[in-house]
Amino acid sequence: MNLANFIPAILCILGLTAFNKVEGKDDLTEQECAKLKEYGFTDSFLADFKAYIQNPQPSAENNATDDRRAAAVAAVLGQVTTQHQKATAELSALKEQVAKDKAAHSAAISSKEAEIAALNEKIQTLSELPETDPGKGAGSSATPAADFNLDDTQQLGGLPGEFFALNRPYNLRAKAALLANEGKMLAVSTPLSVDYKTLQDDLGAFYRTRWSDRLQSFLVELPTITKIFPTESGHQDLETLTNLWLGEFSQPDNSENSEFDKVTKGSYEFGHETLRMYGVMFAHKFKSLKALEKSWIGYLNREGSNPVKLSFIEYLLVKTAKKLHNEREQRYINGVRKDPDPDVPGRAMEAADGIYEYLRKRVEGHTDFTPDGGTTGKTVYQIKPFNLPRITAANIGEVFYQGTSMIPSVFRDTGKICLYIPSWMLPLYHKYNEAHYGQNVDYKAGITYVKEFPAVKIVTLPNADNHHRIFWTIEGNFRTFDHVAGEMLRFTLEQQDWTVKVWSNWKESIQAEVVGFKYTDPLAMDGSRQLIWCNDYDRPDTYFIEADRDANPSALLHSSIVTVANSKQFEITDIANAQAGRLISLKCGADGESGVTIKKAEKFSLLSAAWTPKKGDVITLMKRADGKFIEVSRSTAAAESYQFDADEVTPSLKGATVFVTAENSKATAITDLLDATPGTLYTIHGAGEANASTIANGGNFVLTAPITLKAGTFIKLVKGEDNKFYEVARG
């Protein structure tokens, strides 16, 4: 029997164009074998067939004609047809037998009818099998059927239409049930009464609502970073992963005249990584629900006079779920964990460390929590950064080249190393290549490579506009982690009198599986035992991070800090985590009753005078070894700025980098900036209210949005090699 003749029939029965590969060889899965058994194939045949496709033997019969292949299909068809005839005869006999007591045997009849229906479907499948086309190969079809894609994260099976969206709880549970049949687990919430209200809406009530009555939300869901760093579920805090570092082993053959024990070499050194899982929560209380009845859109009120409006709460929770998703996506990048204070709400970005904070700690040192790691409780360092120039539009390509060339070639040339950059850098890199090399031939949609090292792929990270850190590592090294899949959206509702409490708790983390050997002395690092490489700075000094409200600022994360609006004027008495000998720039972000002040006393007794700033004013300080702060300089928002002429639409930037607009006498739209140097950062402060200068997002400017430079506003721009100005920051 030539088993090759059965290949096209079996491929079509299984709905495949080619067999799955296992260790480079064709093979059948257990599920595929089970399906073939339903069509009458025996265990012995399947064993012979699997052996054949794993190690096909050439023979003269390998060039079988289409008639032989069709005969194989016909053989299977005949076998199933015989089964069908036999089942039909059994059904007729069964009907005659139970004619006197049909009710007692109705279940058996239904079962047999279902069996026959299934066989009819199989016969139909076999009858429609395509003939072999030598030009296309067995099982080819001009119009392949669309796949039911269970991996689709937006729609049930990839089916189009809002009705099949996975934000419907019942669709999500249907997906979980289908995945369970494949041995995969997807955590979903248990059915609630609000689920059925959503289903009722989908069946028509929602779509019959007048457009003018709709309650609109313009919250846009951010793309998920888990497409870059996949999520692993089922992890707990302080799990330990052991890594192995190998020494050199090979040497010239010295076995003839040497003793074995004297020429042995090589070493195995174990390292450990500790997974930190951060607990995060959502907690809210819906109250004054009766008052909402008088103000919200009427179609959402399905509870009548009941003061608890679950239909409205359900709608708000759908929007809340999208907001929670967005906050987590931003936290994956910008998060900095801060342990919460009891009874004090915390910020979203303080719930967990993001990837840049994770890298900062591995560069600047962090406390090791690995049990029995030899460094438990000590400050350890794992990444020795590259000393690279500050990235600008004029040198970005050179920085990428220099950094990539410093990675050991045994890693760089494997094709597995990726360069991860903030998304705002990619347009500058393309412009750099176009300016220096002409057309950017290395660009491919969605994929970019370091031009001088085509084996190193560039991957952009979203939501990282305030970061300048770039890093290289093995693709797949970083991952996101959670404890239970879907736990964030597993809301718990509890009614208390006429209010409703809602909350959810989950754990999350973003971390690398391997970073590098843990050094307790950073001077001992030589970069040879690390698998993550990065530049030596993150946020530039010109970028200011926000201080906490009603609290002394902290220089732990960055040396440039801007204050925020306080509940009342706040007196700064210290700058926490300031390092002696390091410059600190403190900028006033709000003045007046919500501003800040520093008295000339105690730790600030060395100031030239008390500091009660206006918005935009900056004081530069340095901490002494005795804990007191030295005043280095202070300036107002535009004290050192050159002023543009009034009504000027193409002002000059010659001779300075900080400017302020004038109070214009008419509407003034700046269309260009003259005498600018590519790669230099320029800051333009606004002035006045009426006729304030404007800059559009277009022409010579590439901005995130148009800007009106009123008093108290500013924009930072850098000129690219293409003579356009790119926005870096605004405020």
602 and 559 both lie in a single domain? yes
Q: In angstroms, rounded to a whole number, what is the distance separating the alpha carbons of residues 598 and 431?
A: 45
Q: In angstroms, rounded to a whole number, what is the distance separating the alpha carbons of residues 30 and 371?
A: 41
Question: What pLDDT shows up at residue 636?
Answer: 73
Which string of DSSP letters, residue by residue, matches 86-146?
Answer: HHHHHHHHHHHHTSTTGGGGHHHHHHHHHHHHHHHHHHHHHHTPPPPBTTTBTT--SSPPP
652 and 549 both lie in a single domain? no
Parallel, antiparallel or unpaired: strands 583-587 and 618-623: antiparallel
599 and 626 both lie in a single domain? yes
Q: Is residue 297's pLDDT more than 80?
A: no
Question: What pLDDT shows up at residue 196?
Answer: 47
657 and 622 both lie in a single domain? no
For the chain, report the end-to-end CA distance as a whole number of angstroms.
78
Of residues 680 and 629, more confidence is placed in 629
3-state secondary structure of 684: strand
Q: In angstroms, rounded to a whole number, what is the distance separating the alpha carbons of residues 696 and 648?
A: 15
Domain membership of residue 262 (yes or no) is yes
Domain membership of residue 313 (yes or no) is no
Residue 674 sits at φ, ψ, to 5 deg, of -90, 155
Whose tokens are 């070493």? That residue is 267
Question: What pLDDT shows up at residue 138?
Answer: 41
Residue 686 · residue 709 · CB < 8 Å: yes
Pick the last residue of a domain from 80, 97, 127: 127
User: Could you say which DSSP state residue 209 is in?
Assistant: S
Question: What pLDDT shows up at residue 370?
Answer: 80
Q: In angstroms, rounded to a whole number, what is the distance separating the alpha carbons of residues 468 and 667?
A: 36
619 and 655 both lie in a single domain? no
Average pLDDT of the residues in 584-613: 92
Average pLDDT of the residues in 629-655: 80
67 and 121 both lie in a single domain? yes
Q: In angstroms, rounded to a whole number, what is the distance separating the alpha carbons of residues 172 and 193?
A: 16
Q: In angstroms, rounded to a whole number, what is the distance separating the alpha carbons of residues 53 and 18?
A: 11
Query: In the structure, what pLDDT confidence band is assigned to residue 198 with cuts at 50, 70 and 90?
Result: low
Average pLDDT of the residues in 468-474: 95
Q: In angstroms, rounded to a whole number, what is the distance separating the alpha carbons of residues 564 and 583?
A: 21
* Exposure string over 19-40, b if 16+ CB within 10 A, otherwise e: beeeeeebebeeebbebbeebe
Q: In angstroms, rounded to a whole number, what is the distance separating the alpha carbons of residues 646 and 661?
A: 8
Residue 45 · residue 108 · CB < 8 Å: no
Pick the last residue of a domain from 249, 274, 299: 274
Domain membership of residue 259 (yes or no) is yes
Q: In angstroms, rounded to a whole number, what is the distance separating the alpha carbons of residues 599 and 611?
A: 7
Question: What pLDDT shows up at residue 344?
Answer: 87
Average pLDDT of the residues in 151-166: 78
Q: In angstroms, rounded to a whole number, what is the distance separating the alpha carbons of residues 20 and 1?
A: 23
Q: Give percent of the chain with pLDDT exceeding 90.
A: 31
* Non-local CB neighbours of 63 within 8 Å, separated by 6+ positions: none
Residue 355 · residue 510 · CB < 8 Å: yes
Domain membership of residue 109 (yes or no) is yes
Q: In angstroms, rounded to a whole number, what is the distance separating the alpha carbons of residues 429 and 399?
A: 10
583 and 698 both lie in a single domain? no
Domain membership of residue 413 (yes or no) is no
Indicate the helix (H) or strand (E) that contains 73: helix 66-97
Query: In the structure, what pLDDT confidence band is assigned to residue 142 with cuts at 50, 70 and 90?
Result: very low
Q: In angstroms, rounded to a whole number, what is the distance separating the alpha carbons of residues 342 and 518?
A: 34
Residue 566 · residue 550 · CB < 8 Å: yes
Average pLDDT of the residues in 253-266: 87
Q: In angstroms, rounded to a whole number, what is the distance separating the alpha carbons of residues 694 and 710?
A: 9
Residue 554 sits at φ, ψ, to 5 deg, of -125, 135
627 and 690 both lie in a single domain? no
Q: In angstroms, rounded to a whole number, what is the distance separating the alpha carbons of residues 703 and 466?
A: 15
552 and 616 both lie in a single domain? yes
Question: What pLDDT shows up at residue 331?
Answer: 94
Q: In angstroms, rounded to a whole number, what is the distance separating the alpha carbons of residues 603 and 582?
A: 16
Q: In angstroms, rounded to a whole number, what is the distance separating the alpha carbons of residues 653 and 675?
A: 6
**What are the CA-CA distances from residue 571 to residues 408, 619, 633, 636 (Å)?**
51, 15, 19, 19
Tokens of 454: 């085509």
Of residues 530 and 79, more confidence is placed in 530
Q: In angstroms, rounded to a whole number, what is the distance separating the alpha carbons of residues 151 and 144?
A: 19
Whole-model pTM: value is: 0.57
Question: What pLDDT shows up at residue 535?
Answer: 95
205-233 tens-digit pLDDT: 444 444 444 455 666 778 889 999 999 99
3-state secondary structure of 268: strand
Closest by Cα among 237, 243, 238, 241 to 517: 243
Residue 424 · residue 464 · CB < 8 Å: yes
The mean-pLDDT minimum among 30-39, 195-204, 456-465 falls in 195-204
Domain membership of residue 212 (yes or no) is no
Pick the last residue of a domain from 112, 127, 142: 127
The mean-pLDDT minimum among 260-264, 309-313, 713-717, 724-728 falls in 309-313
Closest by Cα among 626, 673, 628, 625 to 649: 673
Query: In the structure, what pLDDT confidence band is assigned to residue 79 with cuts at 50, 70 and 90?
Result: low
Q: In angstroms, rounded to a whole number, what is the distance separating the alpha carbons of residues 524 and 369?
A: 21
Domain count, the chain: 4
Dihedral angle sign, alpha carbons of residues 403, 409, 415, 417: negative
The mean-pLDDT minimum among 174-188, 238-252, 407-421, 449-463 falls in 174-188
306-363 tens-digit pLDDT: 666 677 777 778 888 889 999 999 999 999 898 888 888 888 988 999 999 999 999 9
Tokens of 462: 């979203």
Q: How many CB atoms lie within 10 A of CB 409?
A: 9
Question: What pLDDT shows up at residue 298?
Answer: 60
Q: In angstroms, rounded to a whole number, what is the distance separating the alpha carbons of residues 507 and 352?
A: 9
Q: Is residue 575's pLDDT more than 90?
A: yes
**Radius of gyration in angstroms for the set of CA atoms belonging to the chain, rounded to a whole number:** 34
The mean-pLDDT minimum among 1-15, 139-153, 172-186 falls in 139-153
Query: In the structure, what pLDDT confidence band is assigned to residue 60 with cuts at 50, 70 and 90?
Result: very low
Question: What pLDDT shows up at residue 552?
Answer: 93
Average pLDDT of the residues in 149-159: 81
Angle (nearest 5°) at CA 344 between 339 and 349: 50
653-702 tens-digit pLDDT: 887 788 888 888 899 999 999 988 888 888 898 888 888 999 999 999 99
Closest by Cα among 175, 482, 477, 472 to 328: 482
Query: In the structure, what pLDDT confidence band is assigned to residue 507 with cuts at 50, 70 and 90?
Result: very high
Residue 6 · residue 74 · CB < 8 Å: no
Question: What pLDDT shows up at residue 638?
Answer: 55
671 and 624 both lie in a single domain? no
**What are the CA-CA distances from residue 658 to residues 392, 583, 682, 714 (Å)?**
17, 20, 6, 10
Find which of 10-14, 170-174, 228-232, 291-295 is predicted with most confidence, using mean pLDDT. 228-232
Q: Give percent of the chain with pLDDT exceeding 70.
A: 81
Q: Is residue 420's pLDDT more than 50?
A: yes
Query: In the structure, what pLDDT confidence band is assigned to residue 384 with cuts at 50, 70 and 90?
Result: very high
Q: Is residue 385's pLDDT more than 90?
A: yes
User: Could you say which DSSP state residue 593 is in?
Assistant: G
Q: In angstroms, rounded to a whole number, what is the distance separating the alpha carbons of residues 719 and 731?
A: 19
108 and 11 both lie in a single domain? yes
Domain membership of residue 351 (yes or no) is no
Average pLDDT, the chain: 81
Whose tokens are 């590439």? That residue is 702
Residue 386 · residue 535 · CB < 8 Å: yes
580 and 564 both lie in a single domain? yes
Domain membership of residue 89 (yes or no) is yes
Task: Kindly tell me the burial class for residue 399, based on how many C-beta atoms sit within 10 Å of its own C-beta (0-12, 13-18, 19 or more).
Answer: buried
708-720 tens-digit pLDDT: 998 878 899 999 8
Question: What pLDDT shows up at residue 205?
Answer: 41
Average pLDDT of the residues in 369-397: 87
**What are the CA-CA distances from residue 228 to residues 19, 106, 278, 325, 412 (Å)?**
28, 55, 20, 16, 20
93-132 tens-digit pLDDT: 777 776 666 655 666 667 777 777 777 777 777 666 554 4
Of residues 289 and 335, more confidence is placed in 335
Closest by Cα among 573, 687, 680 to 636: 687
Question: What pLDDT shows up at residue 450?
Answer: 92
Q: What is the extent of the structural domain holding 589? A: 545-635
